[in-house]
Amino acid sequence: MSHDSPPDVTAVLGQLLSAGQQAAEDGDTETALSTVESAERVISNKVPNEHERKRLLHGCQRVRAHLGPDGTGDGAVAAEYLAAMERQVGEE
């Protein structure tokens, strides 16, 4: 993530994405969706760079799609998306 984002925002997003990844890997779709929802709120309200904000929100949409509307999606793919997003958030 760029230097535009405050360190606390980067830390919170990293924690949320990590928790979502673990939940998706464990098959806990409800928790994974909840953490993605929280991440979306943080991204929408706290990430100042428009390009980064759109990219991260797109990633959240893809995670939701892979988890599936009824929780019968592919949690492994969703977990990989979340892991990739976490790596990108951690990069400076």
pLDDT per position as a tens digit, 3-34: 678 899 999 999 999 999 999 999 999 999 99
DSSP class of residue 12 equals: H
User: Which residues touch 43 (CB under 8 Å, ≥6 apart)?
Assistant: 13, 53, 56, 57, 60
What is the pTM (predicted TM-score) of this model?
Answer: 0.91
Q: Are 79 and 25 in contact (CB under 8 A)?
A: yes
Alpha helices, H only, the chain: 7-25, 29-46, 50-67, 75-90
pLDDT per position as a tens digit, 32-69: 999 999 999 999 999 999 999 999 999 999 999 999 98
Residue-level pLDDT at 90? 85
